[in-house]
Amino acid sequence: MNIEIYTKSNCPHCTQAKALLDAHSLTYTTFSLAEHGETGEQYITREELLNRFPGARTMPQIKIDGVAIGGFTELKTHLQKQTS
């Protein structure tokens, strides 16, 4: 399973989503919203984020196997279905 999680600093739902993935021993790639001139391959600009998730209004945004599933609540539901 290929999981990407798009986060921002000081985001409690982002922290919860990563903790949930860790609790299920799932590996994931984190992309952080760039702030204050941060650059690098693990940072994403607001513009890039909105290009990847046009309807995004909250964080985190999560993709599983290339499909955008939503945020923390949708991740929790997705993982519950996987273990049922």
Q: State yes or no: pLDDT of 34 exceeds 90.
A: no
Closest CA to 63 of 23, 3, 10: 3
Q: With pLDDT > 70 as the criterion, what percentage of the chain qualifies?
A: 96
Report pLDDT digits (tens) over 40-69. Answer: 778 898 899 999 999 888 999 999 999 999
Q: How far is CA 52 from CA 18, 24, 56, in A?
A: 20, 26, 9
Q: Please state the CATH superfamily assignment of the domain spanning residues 3-83 in this structure.
A: Glutaredoxin (3.40.30.10)
Token digits for 80? 């519950």
pTM of the model: 0.89
What residue segments make up the domains of the chain, in order of their start? Answer: 3-83
Q: State yes or no: pLDDT of 3 exceeds 80.
A: yes
| 35: confidence class by pLDDT, cuts 50, 70, 90 | confident
Query: How far is Cα 44 from Cα 33, in angstroms, rounded to an integer?
Result: 5
